[in-house]
Structure 1
Amino acid sequence: MPRSFSRVTILGLILLLVSLYGCGRAHRAGLPPGSPFAQIAAPSALALTEGTAVGEVTDHSAVVWFRTSGPALAQVAWVPEDGSALPAYSPVLATVFDHDFTAKVRLDGLAHGTKYRYWIRVAGADDRETFDRAARDAGAGRFNTAAEPGSAAAVTFVWGGDLGGQKRCRDEQTGYAIFERLLQVRPDFFLLLGDSIYADERCPSPPNAPGGDFIASTLDDYRAKHRYQRGDAALQRLLGQVPVYAMWDDHEVRNNFSGPHDPRMPDGRQAFLEYWPIATPFEDPHRMYRKFRWGKDLELFILDTRQYRDRNAEPDGPAKTMLGAAQRAWLLKSLSESTATWKLIATSVPLSNQKKGTALVPGNDSWARAEDGTGFETELRAIVDVILTQGVRNVVWLASDVHYAQVDEYDPDGDGVTDFREFICGPLSAAPAKPLPPGPAFRPTTLFSEGGFMNFGTVTVNGANLRVAIIDERGTIRFSRTFAARTP
């Protein structure tokens, strides 16, 4: 009897361990296969180890993002914080291996200018028939919807890019502490303007948190790079409280890549779309350029400067494009039709500041024309010509990528009146660079130009006034200026 009891006990312990840890070995989130840190017990499939996020916020809708650690069933619930409506629930969905267990859920029928809270209910993959009883709350967050287009409402947002480059990755002790500074602004949304990962660079540990010391070259590698970033506690706090509009730049694939010509682009694009709350059209599931309206006075146009661009090394000219014909036509039409006081164009690369190529990828990577005749200045001039000829007023370009901060005003027709402005910020966490002066093609006047520190930008639109500020990683305002809108 004692021997039989002992065997049963041992068998029970074995079964318990199998149920807790699984039969196979799992890869730790953020680590590629083969990492010495990778083979550890898998977290529960019901855990949201990368937090949650909300994106694509409008005056009536939003997209909630989350990731389970394995196959699971999930549901999103949401309710106005003022209790003006009962909770609403999405259909139950399954997180699946083919999308790395990420999920995006669109919330429709929201009230404009309203604070919402949401939470994620999760159950096992086999609990569909008993989901309501089996589900537990696994994550939560908050967001504000935009004011309706005809409503005058002040809007504040933050923007930035370049996260985790040149070995400035998640600090092992503090993580990406700069995100706490962004939260202190209490923004209505966060515009992430590219280089959300550095797929083509290593993050050695120490001093960084383990998990990023590899170069990405496959879909699983790109996913692991995103998981590494999203494991940061400060970034999770920001994304849990502030809606995000995300766009990629080059390091989501590799330095200075040109989309149609890079064989790694599809894998980098898939991972980026899986890990950010971006809603692509059903008829064009890879399209990322889009626009958002926040009340009467602000419209934001987000450009994709990577997916459609010609090779950087090609000489600049009428046939060369960064945007592609369809995106360029969309931008020009949208600008011409916009009734917003301020039209903000998000471009991941700057207008007039050269970003030279490398021996591996030659040619200027920004809009400006370089000494070797490369660049995309001809296409930019065509856009500027429409701004001038159609009288599109109060245009501001937002950029990042070059690892320094700069504020420029442009007077391309030389009449002494500013026709548009450009605000550049960054990096969020990468090697700071020495500022370059803007090229002369569009007659710039530089109001601020400084490098050598981590930073982000803030914009507040309040009726006819727009205020920009550059804030460093310590929370110090390095520059601020308020501009008044030009009226017809």
Structure 2
Amino acid sequence: MTVADIRHAVPGTTGQVRVAYRKASADQWRTTPWQDVDPQRDFTRQILLDHLQPHCQYSLRVECRQGPEGPPGQTLEGRFRTAPAATQAARVVFTVSTGQGYGSQDRPDGYNIYPEMLKLDPSFFVHTGDIVYYDRLAKTIELARYHWQRTYSLPTNVEFHRQVASYFIKDDHDTWQNDCWPTMRRDNMFQFTFQQGLAVFREQVPMGPRTYRTYRWGKDLQIWLVEGRDFRSPNTDPDGPNKTIWGAEQKAWFMRTVQQSDATFRILISPTPMVGPDRASKADNHANKAFAWEGLQLRRFIGSQKNMFVLCGDRHWQYVSVDPETGVWEFSCGPVSNKHAGGWKQSNFVAEYHRYLNVIGGFLSVTIDRIEGVPTAIFRHHDVRGQVRHEERIAAARR
């Protein structure tokens, strides 16, 4: 018996792929060359699309074949939207999610949040991590890939991602195991290693040279997506100025690029919390005592910037918090479904921090728009049926 024989497996096969794409208003397709899928990378192939125009809707078509002499295979059609130019004031809507356990599906074909997010016609989507959960079953690299195969063959996921450009961040469960770091030594993952987890993530999601990156979406928005696993110190080390989650190079890059940005709103999207509050027993993020030194350093920096906010994943509940010391706002998007919600008591509203608390599944949407000429950020927490449970509307302060 092999992994391909397990229920819900979607094994790859040899062949070639290419992508045709065009502006939605155009007649002519631009087509990439045929390329072989890589059997060493789960039969995947990442293809770079060039000559894209800003602030445009594109149609695309993914084609496959067995080989140069082989018959054509399936065709998948989709669409995506490109970012407005940095000088262009334009409305941008994006959605954010976390905590996508396979056993947490809440409809026969996947997850309710995906069709609900599609109704908002988002410009892009960000998954903040825990995209899959390796801990119990991924004891080999083949079983790790199986987790991605079964999750991204779910109809709700396929239908959403063929229509919305997406960014992916990894956290602990989709790197290796709970609260992991590079030098961790444990036997419970059998043959599957931390380094293999890093490689699988890069083969399964679109990614450039680094897993920390920043993107400009018009005059009024720039986002930062950060890496929280590759460079971290052991959670068990004593806290202090040399203990880190981000690593010195990423931290310097973040501070430098934030200060260089002239976007009206600057938003950090983190796989783990920066503000919290979190459970006292946790020791894995910047809201915990285990990383208090770097957490305070980053909150002070973010708090010194005008119109800067933090969005985070990881926590299995929704919240809006404001750090009482630095004034940093944090929005926790909440998990993919109500089945996945938990880890915090609904009654534990911490008035010193919380503006909103809800132990439910759903997603976060963010709208950047100009209302009566004023750049405005609108943060909305939605439940799994798309209903808005909380809204924060923040007009930009002058910079």
Deviations for 1:171-211, whole angstroms, at most 9, x for unmatched residues? 5x24222211111121111110000001114xxxxxxxxxx
Please, what TM-score do these two structures have when normalized by structure 2?
0.90
Instruction: Specify the alignment match of 1:408 in structure 2.
Output: 321
Deviations for 1:84-107, whole angstroms, at most 9, x for unmatched residues? x62111121001211111111010
Query: Which residue of 89, 101, 105 corresponds with 2:47?
Result: 105
Q: Does residue 384 in structure 1 map to residue 293 in structure 2?
A: no
* Alignment check: 8 A CA contact 2:109 2:154 kept: no
Q: Distance in 2 between matches of 1:142 and 1:34?
A: 33
Where do residues 88-487 of structure 1 align in structure 2 (5 Å cutoff)? 88-125=30-67, 127=68, 134-135=71-72, 138-164=75-101, 167-169=103-105, 173-201=108-136, 215-252=137-174, 253-261=176-184, 264-279=193-208, 281=209, 287-351=210-274, 352-355=276-279, 364-370=283-289, 375-388=290-303, 391-413=304-326, 419-429=327-337, 430-435=339-344, 445-451=353-359, 453-463=360-370, 464-487=375-398
Q: Distance in 1 between matches of 2:349 and 2:309?
A: 16
Q: Distance in 2 between matches of 1:438 and 1:301?
A: 29
Q: Distance in 1 between matches of 2:235 and 2:363?
A: 27
Q: Distance in 2 between matches of 1:174 and 1:72?
A: 28
Q: Distance in 1 between matches of 2:323 and 2:21?
A: 44
Matched to 2:316, the amino acid is H
Q: Distance in 2 between matches of 1:345 and 1:476?
A: 25
Structure 1, unaligned stretches of length 5 or more?
1-24, 40-48, 50-67, 202-214, 282-286, 358-362, 414-418
Matched to 1:265, the amino acid is F
**CA shift for structure 1 position 426:** 1.3
Q: Does residue 78 in structure 1 map to residue 21 in structure 2?
A: yes
* Alignment check: 8 A CA contact 1:70 1:96 kept: no
Deviations for 1:385-409, whole angstroms, at most 9, x for unmatched residues? 3345xx4211110112111011122
**CA shift for structure 1 position 369:** 3.3
Q: Could you say what the CA RMSD is over the residues aligned between the two structures, in angstroms?
A: 2.4
**CA shift for structure 1 position 236:** 0.4
Q: How many pairs does the alignment contain? A: 384
- Specify the SS of the correspondent of 1:483: strand
Deviations for 1:305-357, whole angstroms, at most 9, x for unmatched residues? 11111111222211100001111111110111111111110111112333566
Q: Distance in 2 between matches of 1:450 and 1:384?
A: 24
- Specify the SS of the correspondent of 2:364: strand
Farther-moved stretch of structure 1 (110-119 vs 306-315): 306-315
**CA shift for structure 1 position 269:** 1.7
Q: Distance in 2 between matches of 1:178 and 1:485?
A: 29
Matched to 1:195, the amino acid is D
Against the structure 1 CA distance between its residues 383 and 421, is the aligned structure 2 distance closer, same or farther, given a 3 Å change threshold? same
* Alignment check: 8 A CA contact 1:161 1:193 kept: yes
**CA shift for structure 1 position 33:** 5.6
- Specify the SS of the correspondent of 1:241: coil
Q: Distance in 2 between matches of 1:143 and 1:38?
A: 28
- Specify the SS of the correspondent of 2:315: coil
Q: Distance in 2 between matches of 1:378 and 1:33?
A: 46
Please, what TM-score do these two structures have when normalized by structure 1?
0.74
Q: Distance in 2 between matches of 1:304 and 1:356?
A: 23
Against the structure 1 CA distance between its residues 439 and 318, is the aligned structure 2 distance closer, same or farther, given a 3 Å change threshold? farther
* Alignment check: 8 A CA contact 1:163 1:428 kept: yes
Identity of aligned residues (%): 26
Matched to 1:244, the amino acid is S
Matched to 1:353, the amino acid is P
Q: Distance in 2 between matches of 1:319 and 1:439?
A: 30
Q: Distance in 2 between matches of 1:428 and 1:321?
A: 29
Q: Distance in 2 between matches of 1:344 and 1:290?
A: 12
Q: Distance in 2 between matches of 1:314 and 1:354?
A: 19
Deviations for 1:247-271, whole angstroms, at most 9, x for unmatched residues? 0111112111113435721111222
- Specify the SS of the correspondent of 1:237: helix
Q: Distance in 2 between matches of 1:38 and 1:181?
A: 24
* Alignment check: 8 A CA contact 2:349 2:357 kept: no
Farther-moved stretch of structure 1 (252-261 vs 298-307): 252-261
Q: Distance in 2 between matches of 1:231 and 1:34?
A: 16
